[in-house]
Structure 1
Amino acid sequence: MNKTVLVLVETVDDYLPLLEQAGYRLIRAPSPQMRADAIARHAGEIDAVLTRGPLGLTAAEIEALPGLQIICVIGAGYEQVDLAAAFARGITVTNGAGANAGPVADHAMALLLALLRDIPRADASTRRGEWNRVISPSVSGKRLGVIGLGAVGQAIARRASLGFDMSVSYHSRTPRADVPYTWYDSPLHLADAVDVLVVATPGGAGTRHLVDGAVLEALGAEGYLVNIARASVVDTSALVLALQNGGIAGAALDVFDDEPLVPEVLRGLGNTVLTPHVAGQSPEAARDTVALVLRNLQGFFGGGGVVTPVLG
C-alpha cells in the first residue's frame, strides 16, 4: 500500500513494523517539535495520521495537510481531534475502541485492590523493616459503580462481578438491555448507591467534570474513586478537597490534568494510589492496537470501509 502515515504516538513503536510490512511509509514524529517539522516538510505527502486522544490533531494541522484522508486514533478517546474540521473536509476518523479494554480493566482492578487493601503503604513499610498489620477493607462483596459502560466499562464490570462477587451498577446516557447491571440516570445517583466509583468514560467537553464535588459528597466518607479514563472527567480541585477533609476514603488515579506533571498535593496524600497513565499499555494491547489501525487503513484504502469509525 503506497500511502504515507504521520505517526504522532510514542507507545506502540515495537509493533509499527506491522504497518511497514503492509507497505505503508511511516513518518515518526512523537515530540511537538518533530510533529511541527514533519507537517511543515511533508505536508503534501501525508495520507493518514496516527494519533491518540490527548495528542489529537488540530484544525490548523488538518488544514495544513491537503492530502489527508483518514485519522486513526489509538484508544477509545479522541477528545483533542478536531472532528468538525476533519468532517468538513470529508476526512474519515477511526478510534481504537476495545483494542486495549482488557489491560485497562486489569489495571483498574489492580488499582482498586491496591487502594482498598492499602498495598503500596504496606509494601513500603515492610521494606523499611516495619511490621504494621493495618486492617484494610475487603473488596469482595463491595458495591461497584462504573461511569461509562463501553468496552472498558464492561470488562471492569465482568471482572468485579465474576471475580470479586461485587454488585455492579453503572451510568451511561441510556440504559443497556444487554447487560445484567443496574442503570442509574446520573453520576450523582450512582455515587450515592455504591462503595467504589470507577470512571471509564471517554474525555471531552461532554464528560468534563461529570464527577464533581456533589458526586464525591454522594460517594461519601467510606467511598473510593478509581479513574482510568481521562482526568478531565473528574474535578481535580474537588477531588483534592474531598481527599484532604475525609469526604471520600481514597482515590486511585492513572490519569492527570497536565501529564506528565502530577500535582504535588496528590503525591503527598496517603490515601491515593498513582500510576503514570499506563492502564492501556501492555505488549498485547500495543499489538492489538496497531493491528486494528492496520485493519482500518486497509479497509479505507482498499474500499471495504473502516472497522471502528467515529461518527459525526
Structure 2
Amino acid sequence: MQRVICCGYYGKGNGGDEALLASLLQMLPPTVEPIVLSGNPTQTHTQYQVEVCDRMNGLQVLNALRHADALIWGGGSLMQDVTSAMSPFYYGGLMGVAQQMGLKTIAWAQGIGPLNRSISQWLAKKTFSGCHVVSVRDTGSAQLLSEWKIPFTLAPDPVWALDSRPVPGLWDFPAPRVALTLRPHPQLTPERLSLIIRALVSFQKATQTFILLIPFQPVQDLAIAQVIHQALPQNSQVLILDDPRQLKGVFQGVELVIGMRFHSLIMAATAECRCLALSYDPKVSRLMEELELPGWEIDQLPDDANFISKTWIDCYANQDPLSKGKIEFFVDRAKVHQELLDSQFS
C-alpha cells in the first residue's frame, strides 16, 4: 500500500473542487492510501472516510510528507494568481518541498493560469518541470507546457467521469426545471446582475419553468442566489448540495442550465442538459468553444434584458443538448487521468 498526499483546494466549500477530489478518490488505484489536505478536515473525513490533514497546519503537513510516498496536485486551477496571488506560493512551495524530500510528484488534471506575475510564471515552470508526470485538462495549459518543453498528457476535466448520485426530493419541485449557477465577480456588476434578474423573470414567465438556484460555493454564491430568489419567490428555490456527486446528479432533472461555474457546465453537459454559459474566466471561455455552447463573456453581456431573455428562450426551445456520442467521448477521454494514476501506482 502506497501513502499518497492529495493536495488541492479541498475542504473550502467549493463544489467544483470537491468534485475534483471525489473524481480523484474514485480514480485512485486500490493500492493507494490517500491522505487529503483539507481546509475542513472533519468534514472531509466524514464525507469520504479518508485520512486527512489540516492544509494550513505546517507541522501536520510536514509530518504527512515524511510518511508519504507521493504527492498529487489533485486537479483544477491551482497554479494561478488571479483569485489569490498566494496560490502559486502555497502549491508551488508544497510541491517543491515534496520534490526535495524525494517523493514522487504528480500534477494531475491541471488547468494552468492565468499567471499574470513573472514570479508566478517562474514558480509554475520550475515546479511542473520537477514533476514525474503531468496531466492537464485544456489546450491553453497544454500550450504553456509545450512552450516550457515539459512533457504532459492532455485529457478533459476528470469531473466528466465522476459518478453521480440522485438528489432526494428533486422530483418534488415543479417541472420543467432550469438551473442557475452564478458566482460573484468584479465583472458581474450590480447593473449586470440586475439585467440578468430582469431577463430571468421574463424568461420564467414565458417558459413557466421552475428555477433552481444552486450556489456551488455557498460562502460566495449564496447571497446572489437569495437576491434572485426574492425576485421569483414563488417560482424558484435555493438548493445547497454538499455532496459533489449529488451536485452532478441534480442536472439529471434539469432541462437547461445558465452557468458561470465551470464545473456546473461540465456536469450539466454530461446529463444531456442544455447549457448557456456566462464566462468570467478563460477556462469557461475555452469550454464554451470546445462544446460550442451559446452565451456571453460577462463583460460583453448585452445591455437589453429583453434580448437576453429572448436568447435564453430560443436556446431553451431549440438548442440540442450535447449528443450521447460526444458525452461518451469526453467521459472516456477523461478516464485518461485514471490511466495515468494506474501507470504510476499499480
Same topology, TM > 0.5: no
- TM normalised by structure 1 equals 0.39
Q: Which one has the bigger helix percentage?
A: 2
